[in-house]
């Protein structure tokens, strides 16, 4: 069955059992937000004990504090009342396996999906590619814990983020399911 058919069938079942979820309030019930990676192995509802309507979950490649992620966090507190934020990166993140230069080179060769081998990613497609990838800051990760500190610091220092919101920094361990605090990140994110 194609993925489209699977998604439509799953949605039909979801609608059938939707029930009182239509009554959930717009603001998150537990008043917090999580910025985390889009990696399919991460289940923020599972690792943070969330039910629908509990929290905002903002996801992108690496769980990085990009301009768009900060935009979402600002909307989260300013319009919807979140009062605490978590930045959660994870072990074995794909963003640790390449650099901006590698990504730019791969895209310049072709727009096909790359492969990964012992020496990292390599292109298997035939052109055309695009040099536009060389103009993107991909927010890759060379030091996992430091990237959490850097992202918490970037959020904390943003002029639209109030000092009263604590920002906690964690790494999710994909082998154990545990959240491991990055103490320096949480220190940097302390409410003031």
pLDDT in tens, 143-186: 999 999 999 999 999 999 999 999 999 999 999 999 999 999 99
Mean pLDDT of the chain: 96
The sheet that has 32-37: what strands, in order across it? 55-60, 32-37, 84-90, 167-172, 179-181
Residues with Cβ < 8 Å from 28, sequence gap 6 or more?
53, 54, 55, 56, 76, 80, 81, 82
The full set of domains in the chain, from first to last, is 23-94+138-192 (3.40.1050.10), 99-136 (no CATH)
Please give the structure tokens belonging to residue 9: 């069938």
Residue 168's pLDDT is: 98
Looking at residue 1, what is its pLDDT? 67
Give the tens place of pLDDT for each residue, 99-121: 999 999 999 999 999 999 988 89
Return d(Cα 192, Cα 190) in angstroms, integer.
6
Pairing of strands 179-181, 115-117: unpaired
Interhelix angle 144-156/67-78, nearest 10 degrees: 50
């Amino acid at each position: 069955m194609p993925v489209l058919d699977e998604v439509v069938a799953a949605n039909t079942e979801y609608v059938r059992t939707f029930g009182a979820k239509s009554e959930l309030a717009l603001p998150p019930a537990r008043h917090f937000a999580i910025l985390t990676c889009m990696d399919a192995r991460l289940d923020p509802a599972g690792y943070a004990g969330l039910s629908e309507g509990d929290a905002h979950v903002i996801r992108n490649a690496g769980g990085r504090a990009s301009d768009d992620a900060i935009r979402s966090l600002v909307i989260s507190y300013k319009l919807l009342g979140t009062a605490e934020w978590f930045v959660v990166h994870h072990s074995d993140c794909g963003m640790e396996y390449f650099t901006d230069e590698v990504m730019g080179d791969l895209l310049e060769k072709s727009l096909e999906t790359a492969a990964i081998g012992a020496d990292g990613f390599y292109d298997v497609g035939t052109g055309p590619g695009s040099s536009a990838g060389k103009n993107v800051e991909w927010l890759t990760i060379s030091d996992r814990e430091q990237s959490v500190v850097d992202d918490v610091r970037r959020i904390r220092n943003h002029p639209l983020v109030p000092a009263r919101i604590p920002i906690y920094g964690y790494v999710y361990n994909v082998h154990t399911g545990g959240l491991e605090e990055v103490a320096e990140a949480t220190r940097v994110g302390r409410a003031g």
